Amino acid sequence: MGWTYFAATPLDNDRRRLMLLHLGGAAIHKLGQSVVEKGPPFTYQSLKRALTAHFKPPANPDYERFLLRQARQLLHESVDTFYARLKDLARTCTSVDVEDEVRAQFIQGCTSVKLREHILQIPGMSMVNILMLGRCKELYKVRAAHMEAALQTQFSQ
């Protein structure tokens, strides 16, 4: 159960705090007590901040950048999904130019050699154009395979 559940539940914040303490069990209750000891007020928001700070590991920019640079497009992953995954990885990076890092990693990590070659033929191609080109190439690949299958069926009869 994530924070989305509490945001979607039509309860006031006091009831959300009580529900969180009840559902979380003894460990969450103990953490809630530490929030109380630091001073009032003991609200849903203060408990949420304390839990997030307690369970979220501290960011490590070098490791986050490593993860971004290691990302590769998965076998059946669309260019849009790959781009979204790169953007999500880059969100935690503190790089000077995140868009440039994402663009460079997209070019290095995409599975289509033809797409990469086309991108490299036009220096400085924008990410919008790269994504549009990638979508077109994916669509044409599917259509060509469909036509090939139809031709194979036609000739085998």
Per-residue model confidence as pLDDT tens digits over 91-102: 888 766 889 999
- The b/e string for 70-81 (b: 16+ C-beta within 10 A; e otherwise) is ebebeeeeebee
Q: How much is the pLDDT for 62?
A: 87
Interatomic CA distance for residues 139 and 135, integer angstroms: 6
DSSP class of residue 57? P
pLDDT along the chain (157 residues), means of 10: 65 77 78 67 75 78 90 96 95 81 96 96 95 96 92 80
- CA R_g for the chain: 24
Q: How much is the pLDDT for 153?
A: 83
Q: How much is the pLDDT for 41?
A: 65
The position carrying tokens 């990469």 is 116
Q: How much is the pLDDT for 97?
A: 84
Q: How much is the pLDDT for 77?
A: 96
Q: How much is the pLDDT for 33?
A: 73
Q: How much is the pLDDT for 27?
A: 79
Q: State the sign of the Cα–Cα–Cα–Cα dihedral 109, 73, 89, 132.
A: positive
Q: How much is the pLDDT for 4?
A: 67
Judge if pTM exceeds 0.75. no
Contacts with 87 (C-beta within 8 Å, 6 or more apart), sequence order? 102
